[in-house]
Amino acid sequence: MSWLNHLTKFSNEPYKHFMAKSSLFWVLRKMKHEVATEWLVGDGYADICDKTTRTLYEIEFQVSAKHFAEKREQYNITGYEVIIVNCSKLPLNINEMKRFLEQFILPD
């Protein structure tokens, strides 16, 4: 489903989720990272796979420790870090959104 360094959008993906995913994708690409979106992992699709740092980013608006733990378990792959991006307080301004999302990025 996913191509390297190509932004993918599902037809049923909510606009706010896609904006968060595309902004995080843009920030990672600007950092020269190799990135895939909607990367097949087990029985689901991780929102973003950063191949440079071997990190999976899952964008979530549902805020609960149980839900986050379920997502970490769902996308658990040996050798990859799973980061749940809590977007419950995601700013609507695109520049503020990018700054907000940068706090979740693992350094090289």
Residue by residue, DSSP assigns 21-66 as HHHHHHHHHHTT--EEEEEEETTEEEEEEETTTTEEEEEE-S--HH
Give the span between the Cα atoms of 65 and 20, in whole angstroms.
Answer: 20
- What's this model's pTM, rounded to 2 decimal places? 0.88
pLDDT at site 94? 92
Instruction: Give the per-residue pLDDT at 55.
Output: 94
**Which tens digit of pLDDT belongs to each residue from 14-64?**
999 999 999 999 999 999 999 999 998 888 899 999 999 999 999 999 888
Q: How confident is the model at residue 11 (pLDDT cuts 50, 70, 90)?
A: confident
Task: Give domain limits for the chain.
Answer: 37-91
Does the pLDDT value for residue 106 go beyond 90? no
Q: For residues 60 and 1, what is the distance between their CA atoms, to the nearest angstrom?
A: 20
DSSP 77: -
Cα gap 27→30, rounded to integer Å: 5
Summarised one tens digit per residue, pLDDT across range 82-99 is 999 999 999 999 999 999
